[in-house]
Each structure stands twice: as C-alpha cells, then as structure tokens.
Chains A and B, each alone.
Chain A
Amino acid sequence: MVLEFQDVSIDYPNGFRAASGVSFSVEAGQCLAIVGESGSGKTTLARAALGILPKGSRVSGSIRTGDTEIVGASEKTLRRVRGLMAGFVSQEPFSSFNPIARVYDHLAEAWRVHARRPDALTIYGSLEDLGIENASRTTDKYPFEWSGGMLQRAAIAAAATHRPTIIIADEPTSALDTSRAESILAALKASRAALLLISHDIGLVRRYADKIAVCYEGRIVEIGEAARIFSRPQHEHTKSLLHDASAETENEDQITSDRVVLEAKDLRKTYVRAGAEMHAVRRADLTVRSGEIVGICGPSGSGKSTLLRLLATIDTPTHGTVLFENDLVTSGDSRKLQGRKARTGFVMPIFQDPLSSLNANWKVWRIVTEPLEAKHRSEKLTRSEKRDIAQQILAKVGLESLDLDTRPRRLSVGQSQRISIARALIASPKLIVADEPTSALDVSVSRKILGLFAKIAAAGTAIVIVSHDQSMLKNLCHRVLRMDEGVLLN
C-alpha cells in the first residue's frame, strides 16, 4: 500500500467542501486514475496527498504513504515525503518551471533538495529515456525555449529522480496532443512507481489505468478495476462520463458540400515588439467548406489564436491572403479590408470567456439582436420585432425559457456562451470561428455546447475551432489540424 486515503474530507478556507468521505488505496506499481468533471475535486485530492492544500484548509480522516501519516504532518515530514516517496507532475508545465533558471537546474534541484549531489549523466540518461535527444545540450536552455511536451517530460524526469514509490500526476497530458500524451504516460509507467493519475481524458485512462475512481462533487461515487468500470459501470455519473467520451459524432462522411467558404493562402503574421520580430504565424494554408467543422489544436503559444484572428479578419496578415467564397477580403499587401463580404457577418466569432463577450449592461434580447443593426442591412426593425426574433433564436440554442430582459450578470457561463452563439447565428454567418469555446465550461455543459456546434454545421455553416483539447476536437470535427510554432500542419 503506497498511498491510502481513509474517509478523507477536505474543507477549503472559504468553507467550500472539496472532498467528503473519500477512501481509496494505491498498491505498489499500480496505476489508479481519478476521473471526473472539472470542479469535482480531483486536483484537491492530489494536493492533499502531498500536503500542498491552500493555507487554512481543514482535512479530516487519514492519508498515509508508506508508514507516514500526511494529515497534520510537520513541514519537515512533508518535505521528506515529497520527492523521496511521492513525485508530482503538475497540470501546466510552463508555470511549474522558473523561467529564468535553465532546465538542467530544475532537474538538479530535485537532487539538491534532498541533499544529494546531482549527477549529470543520470539526469541526461533519464531525459533520453523519455525521448529527449541531446539532453546534455538541450538542458542548457531555458524553459521557454522548450516546448510544452518536452517540459512535461522534464517534469516527469524530475519527479522520478529518486525512484519514488508513487508519482502523482495531475492532468499530465492536458497540454499535449494524443501521440505525445501516449508517450508521456508510457514514460510514467516505465518509471515503475505506482501512479495516481488525475485526468479527464477517458480514452487515455482506459489504456493505462489498472483501477479507476470516479469523482463527483467531492465524493468517490465508484471505484474498481478499469476493465470492470468500462464494461459494467454502476453509477449514473460514470455512465454519463463514459457516454460523453464515446459520443463520437458520425460526421466523418457527412460533408455534403464542396462549396468553399474560406480560403487562406500562405498566411503569416509578424509582430514587432521592442525592435524584435515575433513570428506568431509562420505559414498557414487552409480551405474550409460549408458545413465543415475544422479543428486546430496545438500548445499554448503555437499561434493558433493569432491564426484564428487572421481568418476572421479581426487582424490583417503580414503576408498572404484570406478569401471568403473566392472573394479577396484581406491580404498582406494592404491594411484595409476589401471585397463585398468583409464586415457583413460573413464570419462571426465565439470567444473563450463568455462573460466578457457580452455587453454587461444590455439585456439579453438586445445583445442577441445587435447584428441586425448592421450597416448592410436596410430593414429597420421595431423593438417588438427584435424581441420576437431573439425569442426564436434563443430557442434554437436551448434557452427558450430564458427571460429576454435578463442582464448578463444573472447568467451562468454556459448560458452566456449560448447567447454568444445565438448572437453569431443571427448574423447568418457562413463561417463561425471559435477560440477555446468550451475551456471555461464544465464537461457536461461543454458537451451541450459542442452538440450545438454540430447542429449548426449540419445546417451548412462552417466552423473553425481552436483548442488544446485534442480529444474534444477529434470527437467534434471533420478534420483536425495541428499548429506548431506558427506553422499549420496539414
């Protein structure tokens, strides 16, 4: 038994009960995966195991690793536990590395904090085992010169430095695409430590976990052998999680149209900051047909958001062209928009933060019908006509019972995002571009939003979605393209 939770309840300083009555155990060499929606308490459990909960949190019950009790342990005990017995791989690789220290120093630190002299050859070896070539040279670089995937592997190497009995990995693959995620998990398994894996990626969990615990509202609602959980889920919530994950939309062969809506040729965008050139987009060619959903994935900083702004003609490219239905709209030669289709609601955006997308002082009906005020529309509508239209369009996005006079502050994030979508639809766009439209939402809410996207596309509107969540894109999109260091790979 390398890690055991017995009846653990955790209250945050603000009184929020993040976990209640949680019990589970991890045996040596075993991989236990905790799955659940965001906000279900998964990360809290990982932090509790390492004694790194926010100050003032109250923990009851017992958490033991080996012979050591963690609940109420002194900082000295905890320090020994972290690293020697348990390694930690965090969610966001960039934020867990100090940007002004070289990668080598991070790995060496894992030795020094336990009063051991770092051994360069062992460090290089551990990285090369994880597929990082030329470790002796690359570790001389700074974290921001590494990619997210490489840093994540370095974090694993650091966590595994002292052959800990258990590695706790909180969403170790959320910033990575599938092939890299697989190699990370393979590397974690190869360390031969037991693994407490926190993940929302059911597909990955299925391949690597021995045991699965399903977390819901701070409780473990179901726990068991992975194979059993997948074949005979007991709890309703488990079933719906599995259902969400397997809900592959069968739109692979549904592209009914070959009408090209958007064509982007050799797009590039270079920013000049403080005299230095920053190539946000180096090369991107893209053709989107009507009714098609195209996903663009890639790590943060790969230029995917910038590309989306170029496609939507929010920004003008430094080089290259964007055509709407064969009609030139922007090009690198001119900072002005051209063509009849520019600024006509041809392309409408959906943003990551639904709340800031809505004018906080307007009522819902006014927000939704704003595109009807566009210059190119000659008809003048009365207030009651607009309210009728708003009512109809809100019904289309599943908000038929919403009061038209609500203001955004009374809406949930999910409702706000639906209103953004309703507003986009009212402009009758040929193309919708969405930048991480679900990253602020819960699993179940985002599933509904994605379902809405699928419906919109089926009605003929093309959609380009940018996200780092590759499994989400795979389920939803007809095509998923990768963006890497400013280059759109086909």
Chain B
Amino acid sequence: MHSEFFSNRSAVAGVILAAFLLLFITILPLASQHEPNVQNPARKLRGPDSENLLGTDQFGRDVLTRVAVGGRRSLGAAVAVIGLTLGLSVFAGIVIALVGGIIDSVVSRIIEVVLAVPSVILALAIVGVLGVGYLNLLVAVVLSFLAYYARLARGYALSASQRPDVITARLAGIGWMRITGTHIAPDVFRQMLIVATLDLGGVIVTIASLSFLGLGAQPPDAEWGAMLGEARFFFTTAPHLLLAPSFAILLTIISVNLIGNRLKRIE
C-alpha cells in the first residue's frame, strides 16, 4: 500500500508540500522574532523587505508570522472538523443502515431535506443560532457536512453488509456487533477516509469563507479566512496582505487533493 502510494509522482509532490506546510506552521512562529498580535504602528502596511519578509498589515504586524500562526488555526480546525464529521458519520451511517426499517426511512428523508440546503448557507444559519465564535463556526461546519457524510456512510455500510465475507461470517454464527466491528466499520471507515481527504480542501475553504464573513476567528486572532477578510479593505494599497493567505490556502488545497486523488486511485 505504501509503496503503491509513493509510486506516483504527484502523490509524492502532495506529501512533500504537506510536510513543508506543516513545518512552516509549526517552526516558523517559534523562530520568528515577531509576535503575531503585537502591533507596531510605525511600520504599518509596509511591503516585503528584509525585516518583514512578507510585509506588514494595517497594524504593523508581521504577515509571515500571522500566516503561519493562522495556518495552525485553519489547518487544525479543518482536520478537527473532518475528523469529527468522519467519526460521527461512520457511526450514524452504520447504525441507520444496519437497524434499517422505519428508522432508516425517516433518517434518510431528513438527510435528503438537509442536503437540499447548500452547506455554507446551512452553516451560516447554525452560526446565527449558536452565535459568532470560532468554536461555534466549527460546530456549524461539522453539522452542515454531516448529512452528506452520513448518507454516504450508510450506503457503504449497506453494500458492505451484503458482501460475501460478511454473509459467511453471519452464517458461521459470528455476532452482529463483532461483524460490524471487524468487517463493516473498518471497511466503511477506509472508504470514508478517502472521501474526507478529498473534501479537506472544501472544508478549509468553507471555514475560511465563513471567517472571511466575520463569523469565525475574531480579532486579533490570525486565521487565513479572517486575514483575507481584513485585507480586502487595503487591497489597492497593500495587495501582499491578500496574496499571502490566499497562497497558503491554495498550496494546502493542492497538497490535500494530490494526496486524496492518489488514495482514491489505489483503493
């Protein structure tokens, strides 16, 4: 599996890019002489120079440091959201698929109704109910992705439950819980993990969009979407403020998509 994964050049490129990004967001803030939230009015809206490699923002804060610190928040949030969505949906999907009957019908109809609402709009509505804040935003994103994921997991669980190895185990007298734990859940999880990796880019964009709208990370915290949101007022005078976080988002999405596509191929 590992050798198969790395036999592809673009997958290797994705992994190298991911490693670079991870190093960047972990090491750089430690090595940097600038504090992300310390203002320096004397040096505001400067372009890149030897002191601030990516320039400074409207409060004179170092953009490079803020992109790295913001990356911790953005990437951490995306991974947490995807992980939570994955865990909840695999559990819910398997339960509704295997319990079946009226519960399956009712839950499946609810899921279809929820799916009719675009996920960003749904997340907006949930933030509206929960109130503005980064944690609330993450909960909203999880909930808005959950319906789609649960439906997918239900389908995988249904087809896994009809696989010959599962039928054989059933006839041999293996208990329901054990079959679910040893055959169905690992199988569903594996397939969902690939979907999740491919969706990681979408999740990053969703979180960034909501933060851009001011619903997520609040000042002075750095976060890619929030940085873009603030930078848009200065984009004629200080375009580097927009470029830095945009580029970070772009590289991240390229990286996770390269990895996800390869995982999907070798599945």
A343 CB–B CB distance under 8 Å? yes
Instruction: Tell me the bound Cα distance from A351 to B163 in angstroms.
Output: 10
State whether A371 touches B172 (Cβ < 8 A): yes
Instruction: Tell me the bound Cα distance from A370 to B169 in angstroms.
Output: 7
State whether B168 touches A349 (Cβ < 8 A): yes
State whether B173 touches A424 (Cβ < 8 A): no
State whether A312 touches B171 (Cβ < 8 A): yes
Within 8 Å CB of B172, what residues of A?
343, 345, 348, 370-371, 374, 427
Within 8 Å CB of B190, what residues of A?
361
State whether A356 touches B173 (Cβ < 8 A): no
Interface size on B, residues (CB 8 A): 16
A358 CB–B CB distance under 8 Å? yes
State whether A357 touches B168 (Cβ < 8 A): yes
State whether A423 touches B163 (Cβ < 8 A): no
B133 CB–A CB distance under 8 Å? no
* Binary contact readout A358-377 vs B (1 if CB under 8 angstroms, 0 otherwise): 11010000010011011111
**Which of A313, A356, A375 has a CB less than 8 Å from the CB of B164?**
A356
A347 CB–B CB distance under 8 Å? yes
State whether B183 touches A343 (Cβ < 8 A): no
Instruction: Tell me the bound Cα distance from A373 to B186 in angstroms.
Output: 18
Instruction: Tell me the bound Cα distance from A358 to B178 in angstroms.
Output: 16
State whether B171 touches A375 (Cβ < 8 A): no
* Binary contact readout B56-72 vs A (1 if CB under 8 angstroms, 0 otherwise): 00000000000000000
Interface of A is mostly: loop
A190 CB–B CB distance under 8 Å? no
A344 CB–B CB distance under 8 Å? yes
State whether A348 touches B163 (Cβ < 8 A): no
* A343 touching B170 in the complex, CB below 8 Å, given contacts A361-B186, A373-B178: yes
State whether A349 touches B175 (Cβ < 8 A): no
Instruction: Tell me the bound Cα distance from A86 to B180 in angstroms.
Output: 56
Instruction: Tell me the bound Cα distance from A344 to B171 in angstroms.
Output: 7
Instruction: Tell me the bound Cα distance from A344 to B178 in angstroms.
Output: 15
State whether A348 touches B173 (Cβ < 8 A): no
Instruction: Tell me the bound Cα distance from A85 to B167 in angstroms.
Output: 51
Instruction: Tell me the bound Cα distance from A349 to B178 in angstroms.
Output: 19
State whether A347 touches B186 (Cβ < 8 A): no
State whether B175 touches A375 (Cβ < 8 A): yes
A353 CB–B CB distance under 8 Å? yes
Name B166's closest neighbour in chain A (CB-CB).
A359
Within 8 Å CB of A373, what residues of B?
174, 178
Name B165's closest neighbour in chain A (CB-CB).
A359
Interface size on A, residues (CB 8 A): 28
B133-167 CB contacts (< 8 Å) to partner A: 163-165, 167
Most buried by A among B165, B171, B174: B171
Shortest Cβ gap from B156 to chain A (Å): 14
A28 CB–B CB distance under 8 Å? no
Instruction: Tell me the bound Cα distance from A370 to B172 in angstroms.
Output: 8
Within 8 Å CB of A120, what residues of B?
none
Shortest Cβ gap from A358 to chain B (Å): 6
Within 8 Å CB of A356, what residues of B?
163-165
B176-192 CB contacts (< 8 Å) to partner A: 178, 183, 186, 190
Within 8 Å CB of A374, what residues of B?
172-175
Within 8 Å CB of B171, what residues of A?
312-314, 343, 345, 347-349, 427
Shortest Cβ gap from B173 to chain A (Å): 3
Instruction: Tell me the bound Cα distance from A214 to B170 in angstroms.
Output: 45
Instruction: Tell me the bound Cα distance from A361 to B184 in angstroms.
Output: 12
A406-437 CB contacts (< 8 Å) to partner B: 420, 423-424, 427
Instruction: Tell me the bound Cα distance from A267 to B175 in angstroms.
Output: 27
State whether A357 touches B173 (Cβ < 8 A): no
Within 8 Å CB of B186, what residues of A?
361
A279-317 CB contacts (< 8 Å) to partner B: 312-314
State whether A348 touches B164 (Cβ < 8 A): no
Within 8 Å CB of B170, what residues of A?
314, 343
Most buried by A among B167, B171, B172: B172
Instruction: Tell me the bound Cα distance from A108 to B172 in angstroms.
Output: 54
Name A342's closest neighbour in chain B (CB-CB).
B173
Within 8 Å CB of A376, what residues of B?
173
Within 8 Å CB of A377, what residues of B?
173
Instruction: Tell me the bound Cα distance from A164 to B48 in angstroms.
Output: 84
**Which of A347, A358, A361, A375 has a CB less than 8 Å from the CB of B174?**
A375
Name A351's closest neighbour in chain B (CB-CB).
B164
Shortest Cβ gap from B183 to chain A (Å): 6
Name A343's closest neighbour in chain B (CB-CB).
B173
State whether B165 touches A345 (Cβ < 8 A): no
| 6 new A-B contacts at CB < 8 Å, known A349-B171, A359-B165 | A345-B171, A371-B172, A373-B174, A375-B173, A376-B173, A424-B168
What are 9 A-B contacts with C-beta separation under 8 Å?
A: A313-B171, A349-B171, A353-B164, A357-B165, A359-B165, A367-B165, A373-B178, A374-B172, A423-B168
Chain B residues packing against A (C-beta within 8 Å): 163-165, 167-175, 178, 183, 186, 190
A-B pairs, 6 with minimum CB distance: A374-B173, A371-B172, A357-B164, A351-B164, A345-B172, A343-B173
